Structure 1
Amino acid sequence: MKSLYILLAGALAISLNACTPYEDRVTPEDPAGMKLDFSVTQTPGYDNQVTLESNTKGVIPFWDYVFGTTKETKAVVILPFAGDFYVKYSAYGSGGPKTDSVKVKVSANDPKFFASKLYHLLTNDAAGKTWVWAVDVPTGYCHGNGPGDADKPAWWTVGAAGLKTQGVIDDQMTFDLNGNAHFAITHNGTTTQGFFSLDTLNQKIKISGADISWGNNVAYNIIKLNENEMTLVQQGDGWRNIWMFKRKGFVF
């Protein structure tokens, strides 16, 4: 039996499954006679927190909850984004793997998960924020490299003319928290979609499925991030590659 529970006012609410909401359903037997029995329980008042529990006897469980996986028989996980998501459950028994899923609804982005102000500054939350090259910085150079502690290009320097030569001067990058940690870059009229992960403790950002404009496909250190400016660096031993961006519409 698969079920989803939301505990409200100390009572056990009705179960939910992927195909027939608010109804208990016994999953079909496989050739070996295995019936799936599992539950997905959202915490009252904090429905981003979900308890996964496998009750199927004699199997190895595997959970895919969109933002991660686990093999635990019972696990407490976080779904950080608002939206509707499918939690997939697989049981590996003598008759082979058998899989089912339930649909869960998360009411809001997790305020605990996104407590760091870096998320808001980078993305403007679910609304999204678009960044472009900071071509009008006072120095005139928004890309290049320099010493290991540089906060602006110092050795090799690139301004508007160099960006235009490379064909990247009009690139635009958008970050948002609308259902996932989305990243998108528009280059020469083509938009490539990806995702980002933010290490708020070490102030690093990693893009997957795409890259920043004229990037090096690395994890970037964030050395400046405010409402209007973002400076990323690739940190080396005694050197840095530097990218300086600004919020679209901002003028220095």
Structure 2
Amino acid sequence: MKRLHIFLLGLTAVFFNACSPYEDRVTPADPAGIQLDFSVTQTPGYDNQVTLESKTKGVIPFWDYGFGVTKESRAVVILPFAGDFYIKYSAYGSGGPKTDSVKVKISENDPKFFSSKLYDLLSNSSAGKTWVWAVDVPGGYCFGNGPGDADKPGWWTVGAAGLKDQGVIDDEMKFDLNGNAHFTITHKGVTTNGFFALDTLTQKLKINGADISWGNNVTYNIIKLNENEMTLVQQGDGWRNIWMFKRKGFIF
């Protein structure tokens, strides 16, 4: 069996094993002569794991499973979120592509994929978690910069007054794993939706389609993440920009 490396949410995972077929579909030939023949298999007892197999002769296969794509004739992929998803199969022949899709139902968020406690600390899983500026952090400064190993602002420091001047003091950010890795930021009453990618091995966070409050649109290093506190940094050569947030409702 070929092994397909799945890159999703900043993690790399390699998956094995395939089991009984979920759906084996053959379509009538179209005018160009392509007759689709493919199967989509969910592993019994672990329905997040899906085996995709193209049996169509003389074509180049292409799969879009919502969280990634592959051109492999046979691939094992992971759908990490609970819900209903469509797996799209296309076969490219001399007469052009022919496409079909199969709907699969995933019973729960993948406990293996989300085994790192960082996911729950950041997002509270499907329920979601809202973060705000840590304006009452001891020392009074929750944004700024400092030396390359600093865990709080030390050179340029910004507290509540500076955040208010910038119009970001009331910003709220929410992370959740409800059907996808969702990120939203509400700024001055306007909510922007995006997605987040969390690398639990290197503890890095990337926001796609939006950004953190007063952010720099970079990949952030997580230097503190617990139930109530999150400190993110932009790591430079001998310096750091530092953002300090807290769980909404938490008081230092």
- Give the letter for the 1:62 counterpart: F
Structure 2: gaps (5+ residues): 1-18
Q: Which runs of 5+ in 1 are unaligned?
A: 1-10, 16-23
Identity %: 84
Alignment of 1:104-143 (within 5 A): 104-143=104-143
CA distance in 2, matches of 1:45, 1:205: 31
SS in 2 for 1:50: strand
Query: How far apart, in 2, do the equivalents of 1:81 and 1:73 lie?
Result: 24
SS at match of 1:105: strand
Matched residue, 1:169 = 169
Structure-2-length-normalised TM-score: 0.91
Give the conservation status (yes or no) of the 8 Å contact 2:25–2:36.
no
- Where 2:164 maps in the other structure, the secondary structure is helix
Q: Tell me the alpha carbon deviations over residues 97-132 of structure 1, each in whole angstroms, 9 at most, x when there is no partner.
A: 111100000000001100100000000000000000
Trace 1:204-215 onto structure 2 (pairs within 5 A).
204-215=204-215
1:87-98 alignment to 2 at 5 Å? 87-98=87-98
Counterpart position of 2:15: none
Write the deviation string for residues 133-187 of structure 1: whole angstroms up to 9, x where unpaired: 0000011000000000000000000000000000000000000000000000000
CA positional deviation for 1:32: 1.3
Q: Which residue of 1 aligns with 2:58?
A: 58
Residue of structure 2 equivalent to 1:149: 149
| Counterpart Cα distance in 1 of 2:130 and 2:34 | 50
1:196-220 Cα deviation digits (max 9, x unpaired): 0000000000000000000000000
Q: How many residues align?
A: 234
Structure 1: distance between partners of 2:21 and 2:97? 30
TM-aligned CA deviation for residue 33 of structure 1: 1.4
Structure 2 Cα separation of the partners of residues 200 and 25 of structure 1: 38
Contact 2:21 2:40 in 1 (8 A): no
The residue aligned with 1:27 is: 27
CA distance in 1, matches of 2:210, 2:233: 17
Q: Is the 8 A contact 1:144 1:156 kept in 2?
A: yes
**Residue 74 (structure 2) aligns with:** 74
Q: C-alpha displacement at 1:27, in angstroms?
A: 2.4
CA distance in 1, matches of 2:52, 2:22: 16
Structure-2 separation of matches of 1:195 and 1:30: 38
- Structure 1: how far apart are the matches of 2:175 and 2:203? 16
Cα distance change, pair 110–12 in 1 and its aligned pair in 2 (3 A): closer
Residues 30 and 95, structure 1, Cα contact 8 Å, conserved in 2 = no
Distance in 1, Cα, partners of 2:229 & 2:52 = 41
Q: Does 1:246 align with 2:246?
A: yes
- Please give the secondary structure, in 2, of the residue aligned with 1:98: strand
**SS at structure 2 position matched to 1:87:** strand
Other-structure match for 1:226: 226
2:201 is matched with 201
SS of corresponding position for 1:119: helix
CA 1:30–1:13: 2 relative to 1, 3 Å: closer
**Cα pair 1:66 1:86 within 8 Å, conserved:** yes
